[in-house]
Structure 1
Amino acid sequence: MDAGTAAVLGALAGSTATIGAALATGWAQREGARITARSEHRMERRQPRHDIYKEFITEANRMRALTSVWGIDLHLTPEPTDQRVRHWGEVARSLESKASDTALAGPAPVSKAAIKISRMAAELNISLGTYRSVVDDGETVLQQEMRRQLLAQATNYSAALTEFILTAQSALDDDGSRK
């Protein structure tokens, strides 16, 4: 091979290596920028989500406080007055509204957990209304069964709320660096 051909081939190899390095560098910079943008986007969404989750948890805790006595003992159940039934209904409706906001804020695991809690609160409210309608009949088998159902529902609701809090905390801790 003569010196001219060797020079051309050397120049060709050098330029190919330079182009390859430039492409790899460009790709790495774009990938780094994409990761940074995603992380910044998640951080920008963190505070609004935090606020929405906090409102939802506050409302869900109101329902837990109202129902906690049902989760302790079948025989310590409070008198289901009309006022108490109305109050539960108000909290359940408010919780449903907060659940919608929370579900829209996402991500999917948090949305599913919020919808589950809202549904459970509505079921608790229905059960209390049903219990209220049979309480005036004196101690019956139906009343005992309703109290058992309220006990199970209140216990499950409390566990679901705890699960939601952990799921929301995990979502807030996700900075986008994990895939």
Structure 2
Amino acid sequence: MDAGTAAVLGALAGSVATIGAALATGWAQREGARITARSEHRKERREPRYGAYKHFIAEASRMNDRVGIFTVAYDPFPFERIDELFAERCEEAADAVKEKWVEVALAGPKDIAETASRLERLSNALTFRVLGLHQYVSGERSAGEEALLGIKDRIEEEAKEFEQTLDKFIFLAQAALDDDGSLK
């Protein structure tokens, strides 16, 4: 190979290497900018989500506290505690869960919104059953002891499901708030 050909091939190899390095640098810069933009977007969404999640968890916890009486092993169950005030407090707690659920559903993401929706539906079902139980306990409607225990057992199942779903929501919310957007 003569010196002229070697010089041309050397220059060509240098040009190809320079072009390859420029393409790799451009790709890396574009990828870095994309990650930064994604991270900033997530950061901007994190604070409103934090507030929505915090308030929702507080209200759902209040509902959980209200119906927690059904998950405690009493013998016999204190039906006299299911008075009008107890039923009203359950209604208020369910209304608060519903109000905060709207914010969480809009803040997302999807798995959190779905779990929050499950909690909202459970709080309504629990309240409906508590109101019905109160009617029986107060004498507005009549039912035997077996029927009262059946309603109490159903409320107990739903109260346990509510508690488990609330725990799941908390873990999902923590994960969503920890996501900085650097991963795809």
TM-score by length of 1: 0.89
- For 1:155 and 1:4, the matched residues in 2 are separated by 84
- The one-letter code matched in structure 1 to 2:178 is D
Where does the alignment leave 5 or more consecutive residues of structure 2 unmatched? none
- Identify the residue that residue 67 of structure 2 maps to in structure 1: 67
Deviation track 1:21-49 (CA, whole Å, cap 9, x = no partner) reads 10011001111111122122212222211
Aligned pair 1:19/2:19, yes or no? yes
- Identify the residue that residue 57 of structure 1 maps to in structure 2: 57
Question: What does residue range 20-169 of structure 1 map to in structure 2 within 5 Å?
Answer: 20-73=20-73, 75-135=77-137, 136=139, 137=142, 139-169=144-174
Aligned structure 1 segments of 4 or more residues deviating by more than 4 angstroms? none
- The one-letter code matched in structure 2 to 1:103 is A
Pick which of 75-84 and 169-178 moved more: 75-84
- Identify the residue that residue 180 of structure 2 maps to in structure 1: 175
- For 2:113 and 2:103, the matched residues in 1 are separated by 9
- Identify the residue that residue 6 of structure 2 maps to in structure 1: 6
Indicate conservation of the 8 Å contact 1:104/1:111, yes or no. yes
Q: How many residue pairs are counted as aligned between the two chains?
A: 179
Indicate conservation of the 8 Å contact 1:70/1:76, yes or no. no
Deviation track 1:92-113 (CA, whole Å, cap 9, x = no partner) reads 1221121121121112221121
- For 1:124 and 1:68, the matched residues in 2 are separated by 11
TM-score by length of 2: 0.87
Classify the secondary structure of the residue corresponding to 1:130.
helix
- For 2:156 and 2:85, the matched residues in 1 are separated by 20
Cα 1:14–1:78 shift into 2, 3 Å: farther
Cα 1:9–1:18 shift into 2, 3 Å: same
- The one-letter code matched in structure 1 to 2:44 is E
Shift of 1:81: 2.8
Shift of 1:85: 2.2
Where does the alignment leave 5 or more consecutive residues of structure 1 unmatched? none
- For 2:168 and 2:19, the matched residues in 1 are separated by 53
Identity of aligned residues (%): 45
